[in-house]
Amino acid sequence: MSYRAPLKDIQFLLHKVFNAEENFASMTLSEELSEDLIKAILEEAGKIAEELLSPINQAGDKEGCGFDGGKVSTPQGFKDAYKDYVKGGWSGLTGDLDYGGQGMPKVISALIEEMFFGANSSFCLYTVLTTGAALTINEHASEELKETYLPKLYQGIWSGTMCLTESHAGTDLGMIHTKAVPAKDGSYSLSGTKIFITAGEHDLTENIVHLVLAKLPDAPFGPKGISLFLVPKYLLNAEGGIGAKNNVSCGSLENKMGIKASATCVLNFDDATGFLVGDLNNGLSNLFTMMNYERLSMGLQGNGLAESSYQIASAYASQRLQGRAPSGPEYAEKAADPILVHPDVRRMLLTMRSNILAGRALSLYSAFHLDISRMHPNKKIRARSERLISLLIPVQKAYCSDKGFEACVLGQQVLGGHGYVSEWGLEQNVRDSRIAQIYEGANGIQALDLAGRKTLRTKGAQLNLLIEEMDKFISANNSKKEMKFYLSKFSDVKSLLVEMTTLVIKNGSNNPDEIGAASYSYMELMGLTLYCFMWQKIILATIEAEKSGQDDKAYYDGLIGVGNFFFDKLLPRSISLAEEIRAGAKSVMNATFEQF
């Protein structure tokens, strides 16, 4: 079954739930965006997902990437698809207008990324790495580097990567060994090996621009001694075109569980020429621009593959005849009823759909604040959204990718044995979605970042900003009788999150192990609370749309039904998460090394 772009849900969330045009009007780079233009962009992106990327998804997974003499070839159809992608101008969608980009907000590209990830995650990875690299260069590089590299990246003629991980240094990047030695001409000579480099070598573009973390010989110890360098695959000639090959080579490709059409490379830098991006010894901070962008993308990958899995599973459940409805035959003239009559099948499908809608909404909410932090004319409003984003990103990345993987597994379960074989595509979705929980900072690290840096270290100050957003929503809608039930549920889980935050800060201040022991449950509780917040917004928009007489009652009733399932069946998990947090670190830390 081919992927279908969920344009109806997307347009409803964008225009009815988040009032996109009103938000865009307040941003300096988005004044010309109209509902018609946004609709046209998303519809065209949906066609690309459906007609260009989905048809080569399974074939690309089976063929994988080729590797011969340091050169990587992408699967059949990928080069032609990439040419069409570039021809359509998609590679420069969010790029800076001053260097040939189109200046679109992240909100639009987030929705497009979700569709592309759902249709073909491997292909999408080549594109999001380039977008993230261009964003980082634009934010932190010199004017000369911007003028040299951004136009070609926006045109899609060149692509980008980020090179962080080494065999001994993943999360703890302060341990990296890659060295950068200053040269007389102002460039640097980089030597070292990086692993797990997505799109590190391929045949889609004529040049690849690597953003590489490295240390100068006299750099301070740890993460404060890391600098960021731009290292092109090919150096440029005097005219700015492709010149001599740089001393960067692909040593091998990783053999992986999923995303097999995405080239995951070992890259060797042997006195490769690089150029400093930003200030010396501030590279990790500068690269967080790209890392936060990519983390949002990983949550979108979870949403996209969950949507793909839901489409397959819901269609199958409507057609597959097995057994009879518990209350008696629904289709007496047939040998059996569709499995959609069974409560447990409905449980799985409704769990998938309720989390997909909330995850998509949370990703949009995060993307809006990312846009505000970059594009709003008011400095205080930009700074507030920037602080909110730093809180939201670890939750969006971890919770959306967790729930995305869960949805793929549930979809596989709906199909039973057919979900386990490759024909239907669900086993590929399970394999492809699993990586979203691991790369760009494993979800356990995101939870630690949330509980430690963003909560304990700030004494809950960043959460207070989010609580202000929630309280503002409750205050604005408390008088609406249709919202009473939903707001009561929301207030309860919000209060529970505040209570658990106070407990985490108190316990963590006395015992550092308490932060690690509580972190994952705390991240899940915040994710569940945010999903509840998103469902408040969806329900309110649905009620208002019905009141206005918009003729789509079946769709709106369906949304409210899915929302009611979320409140009845999923939200109560907040209670067990709170109990996990209250249990503390004792049972986690009491076991000795030998007992493991």
Give ∠ CA 367-15-10 in degrees, rounded to 5: 70
In whole numbers, what is the pLDDT of the chain averaged over residues? 95
The upper half-sphere exposure of residue 345, i.e. CA atoms within 13 Å in the direction of its Cβ, equals 23
Residues 6+ apart with CB under 8 A from 111: 10, 14, 42, 45, 364
HEC profile for 407-469? Answer: HHHHHHHHHCHHHHCHHHCHHHHHHHHHHHHCCCCCHHHHHHHHHHHHHHCCCCHHHHHHHHH
How high is the pLDDT of residue 21?
A: 85
Q: What is the band of 353 on the pLDDT scale with cuts at 50, 70, 90?
A: very high
Q: What is the band of 31 on the pLDDT scale with cuts at 50, 70, 90?
A: low
| Tens digit of each residue's pLDDT (9 = 90 or more) over 408-445 | 999 999 999 999 999 999 999 999 999 999 999 999 99
The rounded percent of the chain whose pLDDT value lies above 90 is 90
Higher pLDDT, 407 or 220: 407
Q: Which two tokens stand for residue 502?
A: 């106070």
Query: Is the pLDDT assigned to residue 23 strictly greater than 90?
Result: no
What is the torsional sign of CA 571, 8, 558, 20? positive
| Tens digit of each residue's pLDDT (9 = 90 or more) over 76-103 | 999 999 999 999 999 999 999 999 999 9
Query: Is the pLDDT assigned to residue 30 strictly greater than 60?
Result: no
Residue numbers annotated as active site: 440
* 342 Ramachandran zone, left/alpha/beta (phi>0; psi -120 to 50): beta
Q: What is the mean pLDDT of residues 551-573?
A: 96
How high is the pLDDT of residue 500?
A: 98
Burial label, 513 (beta-carbon count in 10 A; 0-12, 13-18, 19+): middle
| Tens digit of each residue's pLDDT (9 = 90 or more) over 226-252 | 999 999 999 999 998 999 999 999 999
How high is the pLDDT of residue 34?
A: 84
Q: What is the band of 29 on the pLDDT scale with cuts at 50, 70, 90?
A: low
Helix (H, G, I), strand (E, B) or coil at 21: helix
Q: What is the band of 345 on the pLDDT scale with cuts at 50, 70, 90?
A: very high
Q: What is the mean pLDDT of residues 476-480?
A: 96
Q: How, if at all, do strands 66-68 and 71-73 pair?
A: antiparallel
Provide the CA 187 distance to its chain's centre, in angstroms.
Answer: 34
How high is the pLDDT of residue 488?
A: 98
Query: Is the pLDDT assigned to residue 492 strictly greater than 60?
Result: yes
How high is the pLDDT of residue 172?
A: 85
Weakest-pLDDT range from 9-18, 130-139, 512-521, 549-558: 549-558
- Please, are residues 341 and 330 in contact by the beta-carbon 8 Å criterion? yes
| Tens digit of each residue's pLDDT (9 = 90 or more) over 255-313 | 999 999 999 999 999 999 999 999 999 999 998 888 888 999 999 999 999 999 999 99
- Please, are residues 52 and 85 in contact by the beta-carbon 8 Å criterion? yes
State the pTM of this model: 0.96
